[in-house]
Amino acid sequence: MILGRIPTLGLIAWLTLPVAYKTVTMLKTHCQDPVKMAPANLGMICVHNFTAILLIFAYVVVGFDSKALMVSLLPLFTLVFIYIPIAKLLFRVLRLRKTETPTLAIAQT
């Protein structure tokens, strides 16, 4: 932003900072246990993705030009094409983990 390469609206990407802080704290706490460290890895992937989404949003808002509608919305189309299927896969994995946890607890008792 200082060099003028990122629009001022790009400051919206700082909204991911609390999640990043929580993820780094979790990583420091469980750095010796890879199983407990896995949620921290997933958290950092989410921080990366949401930061990219917010920056794309900033560029779309600032760079929107009604005369060049397709070029202005190209980052948004890229976002939908790439990130939505990834989000669906992530939610499917999280849903499977929730259903597997009680089964494992019953099997172990």
Residue spans of the domains in the chain: they are 8-108
Q: What number is the average pLDDT over the span 3-20?
A: 82
Query: What percent of the chain has a predicted confidence (pLDDT) above 90?
Result: 1
What does the pLDDT read at residue 32? 87
Pick left, alpha or beta for residue 6 (phi over 0 → left; psi -120 to 50 → alpha; otherwise beta). Answer: beta
Query: What percent of the chain has a predicted confidence (pLDDT) above 70?
Result: 72
- Tell me the per-residue pLDDT of 89-105, one tens digit each, with 9 for 90 and over: 767 766 765 565 444 44
Q: What number is the average pLDDT over the span 38-64?
A: 82
Which strand (E) or helix (H) includes residue 57?
A: helix 34-63
What does the pLDDT read at residue 100? 54
- Distance between CA atoms of 93 and 51, rounded to whole angstroms? 22
